[in-house]
A and B are shown apart, each in its own frame.
Chain A
Amino acid sequence: MSMQQAKTSGLHSHPIKDKGSFRQSFTQSSFWTALISFITVLVVWEVIVRLFHVRPIILPAPSAIFIEFFTHSSFFLPHAWVTLYEAMLGFLLGMIVAIGLGILLSHSAMLEKFLLPLAVLANVTPIMAIAPLFILWFGFGSLPKILIAAIITFFPMLVNSIAGFRSINENHYEYMQSLFASKKEVFLKLRVPNSLPYLFSAAKTCVSLSVMGAVVGEWTGSTAGLGNVILMASNYMQMNRMFAAIFVLAFMGVSLTQIVRLIELKVLSWHTSIYMHKNR
């Protein structure tokens, strides 16, 4: 980490990098280009549907999908809330357990040897295969969905937290030793801050994965949630409704990832990867 800090400014020059405004402009410009590309796709889609008279049963026009959503928002929003609630509780649960276990495993190579294979096994087993079991065990309510979302979140968070706690800079560690720092001090002042970039990078992926987990759970057996809406709509060939639910899920995924990104920008303002974009 310290190597990438080598910069060329002279001995007495003062670094004047307005990180704040730069960061803002970076995120803003990426937001606008993303928005433009979304709108382009929707416009092309709309034109194709209208121009070639594509039947709504195959592919509804975006306009029809938006109308469906906004005229029935009182139908969609409670379902969206259920999915969001399941995904978020699952995400938090998976994250907390993963970080807790990560702390434990990073302390003991022995424990890691025993427990990591189990975590890997849980990770490689397709979540779709486990979902029906969870429904049988825990019923049609929110609990099995929360657990599925938690399992999906768990593994990337675990692996990254172990890496984050372990991969401290040797120099930093030696410096702490030279001060006779206790294990606890090394953990709190060195390992924890060191792990944050790792944790955020996993969290950005996991937060949208957790939505997927909730939807998978809802497909398997549920009475509410957007996964349930999609399943029902597909049974009745309600294409507008199905697409509207998909759009809401996509929007949810993007928003959640962005929220994690914003928190990351705030918390990790020191982290080089955040203002490195400037040199691209």
Chain B
Amino acid sequence: MAALDKINLSIEQGKFISLLGPSGCGKSTLLRIIGGLVEADSGMVTIGNKTPREAQKSKSFAFVPQSPALFPWRTILQNMYLPHEVNKEAKEHDEHRLDPLHMLKAVGLESVAQHYPGELSGGMQQRVGIARAFSTGAPILLMDEPFSALDEINRENMRYQLLDIWEKHQKTVIFVTHSIREAVLLSDEVVVMSPGKIEQSLQIDLPRPRLDTIEDSKQFQDYVNSIRQIFRKQQ
């Protein structure tokens, strides 16, 4: 049985795209196929004019997994520099790199630069993961439910912090989530998935920068409701 079938999706550069769907619908797998971490049995993915593996080789991706992949034996700053130390032959995107310490400052964590990940809360660790993704210079950020392990209060904060950084740097983000509100709040486009396939792709034309008042707006609620309808129809 195919985990994913009839997937047809094109993503514009510099956009924030969410892959939204219930657990087990293949959204993480799709993200990994795009990122060259999983090989698709058939079909084609191109990033610019590269295959996912080629794009990976040229360090076009910055990956933010569900649990922040911070090495416990490296300080926060050393973790920020890890992408710089690995696969040094790929220099294509080096000029877009941002100073890791500066990025830590941007997420309010410069004071823990010399600490180890084990000393930070889950939310702080995930902020490091995001700061690191933006500092690598990679044009495409792959985020696999980065906030799902956090409590609701932390999640809310993190969403706005991510919006804030993204609006400053405008990289392509592919963001996997199972939260409808999260997807609407963050994205330019929400790709609604049901197990194995794409149901619908929805443009979100909410004004930017998006501030926390936007969640109260009727427009926001309408988007959330229309996505809910899509999921309801399937059941």
Residues of A at the B interface (CB closer than 8 Å) are 1-15, 17, 19, 169, 171-172, 174-182, 185, 189-190, 193-194, 196, 268-272, 275
Contacts of A174 on B, CB cut-off 8 Å?
37, 63, 65, 69
If the complex has contacts A175-B63, A179-B59, A270-B73, are A5 and B117 also in contact, measured as CB distance less than 8 A? yes
Contacts of B61 on A, CB cut-off 8 Å?
178
Contacts A2-B117, A180-B90 known; list 19 others, CB within 8 Å.
A2-B68, A4-B118, A6-B122, A7-B120, A10-B121, A11-B157, A15-B115, A15-B119, A171-B65, A171-B67, A172-B69, A175-B63, A178-B56, A178-B61, A181-B86, A182-B87, A189-B82, A194-B73, A270-B116
What's the nearest-Cβ distance from chain A to residue B132, in Å?
10
- The 29 listed contacts between A and B (C-beta, < 8 Å) are A2-B125, A5-B120, A6-B121, A6-B122, A7-B120, A9-B121, A11-B154, A13-B121, A15-B120, A15-B121, A169-B69, A171-B65, A171-B69, A174-B37, A175-B65, A176-B86, A178-B37, A178-B56, A178-B62, A179-B63, A180-B86, A181-B87, A182-B87, A189-B85, A190-B71, A196-B73, A268-B73, A270-B75, A270-B118
Complex Cα spacing A214 to B53, Å:
54
Task: Please tell me which one of the listed residues A1, A178, A271, A272 contacts residue B63 in the complex, with CB atoms under 8 A apart.
Answer: A178
What's the nearest-Cβ distance from chain A to residue B37, in Å?
6
Contacts of B71 on A, CB cut-off 8 Å?
172, 189-190, 193
Number of A-B contacts (CB under 8 A): 111
Contacts of A12 on B, CB cut-off 8 Å?
108
Q: Mark B42-65, 1 if CB is under 8 A from A, else 0.
A: 000000000000001101011101
If the complex has contacts A177-B37, A178-B37, are A193 and B63 also in contact, measured as CB distance less than 8 A? no
What's the nearest-Cβ distance from chain B to residue A25, in Å?
18
Contact B69 A8 (CB under 8 A): no
Complex Cα spacing A272 to B154, Å:
24
Is B35 on the interface with A (CB-CB < 8 A)? yes
Is B123 on the interface with A (CB-CB < 8 A)? yes
Complex Cα spacing A196 to B153, Å:
37
Q: Mark B69-95, 1 if CB is under 8 A from A, else 0.
A: 111111100000011011100100000
Nearest B residue to A192, CB-CB:
B73
What's the nearest-Cβ distance from chain A to residue B10, in Å?
22
If the complex has contacts A180-B57, A180-B87, are A15 and B68 also in contact, measured as CB distance less than 8 A? no
Is B98 on the interface with A (CB-CB < 8 A)? no
Nearest A residue to B63, CB-CB:
A178
Contacts of A190 on B, CB cut-off 8 Å?
71
Nearest B residue to A15, CB-CB:
B119
Complex Cα spacing A8 to B124, Å:
11
If the complex has contacts A14-B111, A17-B119, A270-B118, are A178 and B157 also in contact, measured as CB distance less than 8 A? no
Contacts of B118 on A, CB cut-off 8 Å?
4-5, 270, 272, 275
Contacts of A169 on B, CB cut-off 8 Å?
69
